[in-house]
Structure 1
């Protein structure tokens, strides 16, 4: 399995992980390079840069970040409850509820009662919503291609695995 290190100039390099996992390694806060050695610094920097790029690429389509996340959650899963959309899109339930209400009002989504549990309302993309999602995805694919230029599929898979495992551990806190 690969791990990634950030080299000078912002280039990521995949390195083979040794079989021994170290849990006692912590950045030295007195070393003067704390940020560069703190993974969560890079996660927040990447997230901010990604969201800025998303805003620029999607603005002309009338899509904000919250709507983008809901569109892609629905694309991947078809029918989801508002709570499930909130969970998949990493947004608060009240934000997601407002986004879904706006999407339904704009004809981008439809709702139905969940066949297996009539207490749950499910949301799905309409044809208009799917068309907008396709246009948005073309814009976002540009970000993906640019950001991951030079990375092999193996590197991308390893990065996704590492991030998924980190996410799983953090959710247990």
Structure 2
């Protein structure tokens, strides 16, 4: 490790997790999930269901594998979530016309309505999360996170 990054690495000699950038990334993500889950609990929607519903709102008729990639989840986990949502009446599934091995998923009317409710709650959490930051600061934070993601994806 180069010396320029050593101060960010918690070591047994100098352990301080607050100097470790991934500590803050996981703390922010965990608190975000808790806040969103708390807000959506009264609708019976949890973080996993929310992720699939909002992914489908962004990409209607996505395949289960596309949804897995979008929500960064294992295919088996995504499949379970999709079938829970299907049982709840939020989504419908069908075989792809070109390749019957591919299962496509789309929102029902109640799924679309729930996706709109979710977006309303997410807007409140987003506003709370970024209070005190300018839009430029938020953009710079996102740019930095994108670079970190690209670096990790190599």
Q: Please give the TM-score of this superposition, normalised by the length of structure 2.
A: 0.87
For residue 13 of structure 1, what is the aligned residue in structure 2? none
RMSD of the TM alignment (CA)? 1.9
Structure 1 unaligned blocks of 5 or more: 1-21
Give 2:5's aligned residue: 25
User: What is the CA distance between 1:118 and its match in structure 2?
Assistant: 3.6
Q: What corresponds to 2:63 in structure 1?
A: 81
Higher helix share: 2
State the 1:54 CA deviation.
Answer: 1.5
Aligned residues: 150
Whether 2:136 is the aligned partner of 1:154: answer yes
Measure how far apart 1:31 and its partner are. Answer: 3.6
Does the residue aligned with 1:112 lie in a helix, a strand or coil? strand
Does the CA-based 8 Å contact 1:111-1:123 persist in structure 2? yes
Instruction: Report the counterpart of residue 15 of structure 1 in structure 2.
Output: none
State the Cα distance separating 1:115 from its structure 2 match. 4.0
Kindly state the Cα deviation for residue 116 of structure 1 after the two structures are TM-superposed. 4.3
Alignment of 1:1-173 (within 5 A): 24-27=4-7, 29=11, 30-32=13-15, 34-172=16-154
Unaligned 5+ runs, structure 2: none
